[in-house]
């Protein structure tokens, strides 16, 4: 069994954003030389997300609006977590969108359906944060 590990670093200039990291994960997969196995891709921070969905800007606007309805950022005082923090909503938003993705590796490629793309979801940006890519297989 082979294993491969890489961190992807982000410093998003806004509080919230979605970034397509599919090319980064594909580059990791090529670098790993692994042909059959699983790739785990997870946010290493608890106010961010890695998820698979559509690379369509209208949908990303819908996600932003919807997550703000389900877990509004403001008023900050509505959350017990926000004594010395202001990011409780980011913890909740990331719970909806998920921490991680596990994808199949087949014949050296991400074994994806036609529209699957991997996104980094930032919900508390303006700081350096990381995504872990771990691949195991042969």
> Could you say which of 37, 73, 124, 125 contacts a second copy (CB under 8 A)?
37
> Could you say which of 11, 23, 66, 128 contacts a second copy (CB under 8 A)?
66
Q: Is 31 in the site for a second copy (CB under 8 A)?
A: no
| Minimum CB distance to a second copy, residue 93 (Å) | 11
Per-residue binding string, a second copy, 110-129, x by CB under 8 A, is -xxxxxx-------------
Q: Is 11 in the site for a second copy (CB under 8 A)?
A: no
Half-sphere exposure of 126 (CA within 13 A, CB side): 5
Rounded to the nearest 10 degrees, how much is the dihedral formed by the CA atoms of 43, 49, 50, 55?
A: -150
Strand order across the beta sheet in which 109-110 lies:
2-11, 128-137, 37-43, 100-106, 109-110
User: Which of 115, 17, 127 is CA-nearest to residue 64?
Assistant: 17
| Minimum CB distance to a second copy, residue 97 (Å) | 6
87 touches 27 (CB < 8 A):
no
133 touches 21 (CB < 8 A):
no
Chain residues binding a second copy by CB under 8 A are 1, 3, 5, 36-38, 40, 42-46, 51-54, 56-59, 61-63, 66, 70-71, 79-83, 88, 91-92, 94-104, 106, 111-116, 130, 132, 134, 136-138
């Amino acid at each position: 069994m082979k294993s491969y590990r890489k961190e992807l670093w982000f410093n998003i200039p806004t509080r919230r954003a979605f970034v397509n990291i599919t090319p980064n994960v594909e580059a990791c997969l090529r670098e790993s030389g692994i042909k059959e196995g699983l790739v785990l891709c997870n946010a290493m921070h608890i106010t961010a997300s890695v998820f698979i969905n559509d690379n369509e800007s209208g949908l990303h606007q819908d996600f932003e609006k919807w997550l703000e309805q389900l877990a509004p950022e403001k008023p900050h005082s509505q959350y017990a977590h926000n004594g010395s923090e202001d990011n409780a909503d980011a913890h909740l938003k990331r719970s909806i969108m998920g921490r991680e993705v596990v994808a199949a590796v087949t014949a050296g490629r991400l074994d994806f359906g036609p529209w699957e793309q991997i996104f980094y979801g930032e919900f508390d940006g303006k700081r350096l944060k990381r995504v872990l890519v771990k691949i195991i297989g042969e």
